[in-house]
Structure 1
């Protein structure tokens, strides 16, 4: 029988928040073990770092230019010919998704046999004044209905925390087993019980956390709240003033946040990650009990990161490492695929590589629509094989709309509305403290990356490039026109 395949997705986890990468405080023993059982990718990126476009690339293997999702926009139908789950289903796998999907319509199966859904807040389905009954969260969200069945009246907003606040926190107020993180694990264990034993399975466990609200169970918050936490990175180019007091908002994306509020948010964020890690450990134990652990390929990744105060910035959707760089681990506990266990790869990989990698691991054909590449050869041959020269990332984000080019060792950023540029030497400056744009010794490298972006954007409908130079000030679009056609 072919191997089982497990995709563990988390939401908004920074790449550096792994203890195996020597984070000064974060503890992730189970993820560390997955890395020891496989390969840890040190330069994995979310090309379009927010939930909708990143997950479109995960579920289709396509670049953002091919999915048409180059920013965040809800309620755009998902009509793709080939999907990750669909290919596994067609290959006679039993397919199941549990947790966050963030597709539209909300109950779109995207190729899975079944979806047990918790998307988090999902604004359009929470706003009762403009929601159609069929799309209301009460009808679409399985976790919310389960929670109300357990408690009577509990709701997602009982803690008073917003779904996009990266600065305000409060520990979970109910029993730990009622937390959405535990629920994803509980439902996944139940899938092991009721799956078809005559078929291999493809399971997508998709946790909403550590995306806000920052609501870890008290026991995990207590692990971090009294520790000396690392200060956020602060580059010489970053804004130092906040005359409007934007940092005081509970849902700020930038600004000067009160010091103790920020420290509590850091503690809660790290606590949510360790909570997820323990729940992953719980599921790995269950896999051993059901006899499937050693015949399952496991890929762990996040859709994007969290800035968490770096450069006085918060949340995601920006090109900096805290937002765009993500954890990415491919594990093979049974050592069936011939991976170089307990190894690391520094080649640049991204969300679109997940689909071809997992299909390759299961010896399933990769559709022609896929733009990504299987990382399996990197896990066997490592640095000796050719690989892509760079990743092109972008996000329509109002006046801060941007494009970036990176190979994980250096990064060129172009802000499309005002033409501002930045260049970082990530090997010597991984925290992006110094913008090298005006440094003479880097001009050749900057020009090379700028020209790569010119070619990437040539012919795009926004008009950002004429094939010879970049053109600032064009209107950004979160979704390209062809998606609606």
Structure 2
């Protein structure tokens, strides 16, 4: 029988938050063990680091230029012909998603046989005056009815007083741990193991909303970090040193100087949510052993994007810095089905679009021509293979709209609305503290990166480039209109 496929995705987890990468605080024992049974890809990036565009790349295998989502915009229909679950269905798989999808309409199956959904708090679904009955939150969330059956009919996602995008305010989960959304994803996933079709291999997408805010870990996990010696966020010499408008006092800020005690508690809660997820992943791995499927399952763990968490006085995502754009990425094979070089670290530059072709390759399924990503199996096996030498990323972000290119050694950033540029030597400055744009020793590299980005953006409908030079101030879009792989 073909191998089972388990895709574990989390939301807003930084690529450095693994204890196997010697993070100074975070403890992730189960993810560390997954890495020992597979390969850790250390230079994994999210080309468009926010939820919707990143998850589009995850499910379609397309680059942002192909799937068209180059910023964050709700209520744009998902009408892609080929998705990871739809291709696996054609290959004979029983497919199931538990947790976050963040598609539109919310009940769009995107090729899955079934979806048990919790996207978290989405504003466009909760604002009742803007929705029809069929689009309202009550019709597109499965966690909240489950919670109300167990904890009371008046329970809601707002009970803790935390906003779903608040990156600086934290408090412990107020109900028993078993009722937390993280536990719910695993509880429902274990139930899928019970009721799946045993005649077919399965594809399970186990998709967590955390460590995305609200920062609400169970008390036991917050206790692990609240008194820990947590390092201060890294602040580049180029970062804004002042916050005259006091943006840092806004609980849903994207930049600013946050009161120190509030920031340290947010850091502690963020790390606590990661360890909570890790323990629940351990719970699911034990259940897989009980059901006799662990040794016949390929497991891929990743996040859709990161969290700046105060780096350079910045928060949340969408920006091209390592805390936002770099993600954890583990490909594990407990049963040694794929003959990978286990317990190794790979430094090739990869992107979320590589998930679909990798898992289809593992399943022995055909990879559609629409897929831009590459299978990681040759790299995981240590084979000599011609690989991409860099990736291009971008995100619409008003005056901070940006493009970046990186080969894992250097990173070039261009802010399209202002023309501001940054160049970092990641091999010497992995935390991006020093902008080398004026350093004459990097003049040749800078010109090369400018040329490569200009070529990458040639013929884009925004008019960013003529293929040779970059044009500042062209209107940045959230969704491209001229797309060959979509019907609208």
Q: Distance in 2 between matches of 1:278 and 1:191?
A: 19
1:155 aligned residue: 156
Q: Does 1:459 align with 2:471?
A: no
Q: Distance in 1 between matches of 2:385 and 2:29?
A: 31
Q: Distance in 2 between matches of 1:385 and 1:454?
A: 27
Q: Distance in 2 between matches of 1:381 and 1:225?
A: 41
Which SS does the other structure have where 1:452 is aligned? Answer: helix
2:11 aligned residue: 11
Which SS does the other structure have where 2:221 is aligned? Answer: helix
1:110-259 alignment to 2 at 5 Å?
Answer: 110-152=110-152, 153-259=154-260
Q: Distance in 2 between matches of 1:451 and 1:468?
A: 6
Q: CA deviation at 1:409?
A: 1.1
Q: CA deviation at 1:102?
A: 0.3
Q: Does 1:63 align with 2:63?
A: yes
Deviations 1:200-222 (A, max 9, x none): 00000000000000000000000
Q: Distance in 1 between matches of 2:231 and 2:87?
A: 43
1:32-431 alignment to 2 at 5 Å?
Answer: 32-152=32-152, 153-381=154-382, 384-431=384-431
Q: Distance in 2 between matches of 1:196 and 1:407?
A: 43
Q: Distance in 1 between matches of 2:166 and 2:37?
A: 35
Q: CA deviation at 1:385?
A: 2.4
Q: Distance in 1 between matches of 2:257 and 2:232?
A: 13
Aligned residues: 484
- Which contiguous aligned blocks of 4+ residues in structure 1 show a shift greater than 3 angstroms? none
Q: Distance in 1 between matches of 2:90 and 2:145?
A: 31
Q: CA deviation at 1:145?
A: 1.1
1:475 aligned residue: 475
Q: Distance in 2 between matches of 1:132 and 1:320?
A: 39
Q: Distance in 2 between matches of 1:62 and 1:352?
A: 6
Which SS does the other structure have where 1:326 is aligned? Answer: coil
Q: Distance in 2 between matches of 1:386 and 1:412?
A: 23
Give the structure-2-normalised TM-score.
0.98
Which SS does the other structure have where 2:382 is aligned? Answer: helix
Give the structure-1-normalised TM-score.
0.99
Q: CA deviation at 1:279?
A: 0.2
Matched-pair contact (CA < 8 Å) for 2:58–2:356: yes
Q: CA deviation at 1:266?
A: 0.2
Structure 2, unpaired ranges of 5+: none
Q: Distance in 2 between matches of 1:268 and 1:93?
A: 38
Q: CA deviation at 1:427?
A: 0.6
Q: Distance in 1 between matches of 2:196 and 2:306?
A: 32
Q: CA deviation at 1:482?
A: 3.0
Q: Distance in 1 between matches of 2:83 and 2:224?
A: 40
Q: Distance in 2 between matches of 1:407 and 1:281?
A: 33
Q: Distance in 2 between matches of 1:274 and 1:131?
A: 36
Deviations 1:107-126 (A, max 9, x none): 00000000000000111001
Which SS does the other structure have where 2:41 is aligned? Answer: strand
* Greater CA drift, 127-136 or 467-476: 127-136
Q: CA deviation at 1:446?
A: 1.2
1:447 aligned residue: 447
Matched-pair contact (CA < 8 Å) for 2:461–2:482: no
Q: CA deviation at 1:481?
A: 1.2
Q: CA deviation at 1:256?
A: 0.5
Q: CA deviation at 1:132?
A: 1.4
Q: CA deviation at 1:95?
A: 0.1
Which SS does the other structure have where 1:124 is aligned? Answer: helix
Deviations 1:352-383 (A, max 9, x none): 0000000001111100000000010000125x
